[in-house]
Amino acid sequence: DAGVIQSPRHEVTEMGQEVTLRCKPISGHNSLFWYRQTMMRGLELLIYFNNNVPIDDSGMPEDRFSAKMPNASFSTLKIQPSEPRDSAVYFCASSLLGTGAGLANIYEQYFGPGTRLTVT
């Protein structure tokens, strides 16, 4: 498996522009997470989906941010309009939520390589 795929790897845009980040989770995984990493705030969970349904979006900073998961193999994180303070590395991660507890399922999250976003 290719692992979690994110695109683009780098994005430079001007303030006010719309930015769309893309993620393809590992095939067969049923949970997907979007994180943001900055020096000041560390790693923040923005939103996560289970079976394509958003479960918790309490980490989304404001209405300028939106995320969708139209099917099991694709998700987008959109920022409109973008601002300089949105500059960060955005990670997508996927995981398999099993139906039983125990040693067989430790709910490991597999992270993509990240998208480095710079808003000028």
Partner 1 sequence: GEDVEQSLFLSVREGDSSVINCTYTDSSSTYLYWYKQEPGAGLQLLTYIFSNMDMKQDQRLTVLLNKKDKHLSLRIADTQTGDSAIYFCAERTGGYQKVTFGTGTKLQVIP
- Find the binder of partner 1 among 21, 65, 75, 112 (CB under 8 A): 112
Contact status: 91 vs partner 1 (CB under 8 A): yes
Rg of the chain, C-alpha, whole Å: 14
Closest CA to 115 of 96, 90, 79, 84: 90
Return the sign of the alpha-carbon dihedral for residues 79, 84, 86, 90. Answer: positive
**Binding pattern for the stretch 17-56 against partner 1, x by CB under 8 A and - elsewhere:** --------------x-x-x------xx-x--x-x----xx
Measured between alpha carbons, how far is 13 from 88 in angstroms, rounded to an integer?
Answer: 12
Where along the sequence are the contacts to partner 1 (CB under 8 A)? 4, 31, 33, 35, 42-43, 45, 48, 50, 55-56, 91, 93, 95, 97, 106-109, 111-114
